[in-house]
Amino acid sequence: MAEKQKTSPPPAAKRSPTKKENNLQERGKRINELLAQAYPDARCSLNFSSPYELLVATILSAQCTDERVNQVTPAFFRRFPNTKALADAEVTEIEELIRSTGFYRNKARALKGMAKALVEHYGGEVPGTMEELVKLPGVGRKTANVVLGNCFNTPGITVDTHVSRVAQRLGLTKNSLQDKIEQDLMRCIPQADWTHFSHRTILHGRNVCQARKPRCEICILAPYCEFVSDQKRKKAK
């Protein structure tokens, strides 16, 4: 089981960005460094012990909290410990086990379809490339990046609602579509840190850069944030 992560917000930054840091890539690099300092232990908050378990948990996490998924998966994996067991399962039984995660009918069909595809085409093993993963039922780039980054040491940026919001507010992207946000972030965040950046940004979005009431007054990224600058301009008018 995963240990509880330290989520205390970092102290607010004291200085303004330099001219060099206003360059998008330099700003992205500096933001990544600050997040690394603030959340050095950030990691995937889904509990798993294999690529199969993380793939299932990530599919279940759509429109659901990771906390809820972690409550559901122990019983799920006792009943379906591998892809063969899941592929052979009745959809109705899968539905009952995952009902509390929401959208359980769609998720159950995706999970069974994913497992059947793995058994039929990959010997029951989860493949380690983006091209192969996104061909599986229920698996898009977001899910694939989670599995690749945490199980195969292949850096990838996972764009969930927190990453989308934080990246937009920081001005690292002007896009609203996940795939386009991912591409924008890949251009301004060092590749080696893509997976870590995702974990850290998710934590920052949960604890500081919240959707309704962002805690800008304590945010370490405030000097680099377009949202903060816009708010200041509005107050000055």
Catalytic residue among 142, 174, 234, 237: 142
128 C-beta neighbours (distance < 10 Å), count: 15
- Residue 160 designated active-site: yes
Residue 113's contacts (CB-CB under 8 Å, 6 or more residues apart) are: 136, 137, 138
Strand, helix or coil at 184?
Answer: helix
| Residue 152 DSSP label | S
- Residue 142 designated active-site: yes
List the one residue out of 5, 31, 2, 25 whose CA is nearest residue 228. Answer: 31
Catalytic residue among 160, 179, 184, 237: 160
- Phi-psi sector, 139: left (phi>0), alpha (psi -120 to 50), beta: beta
What residues act catalytically? 142, 160
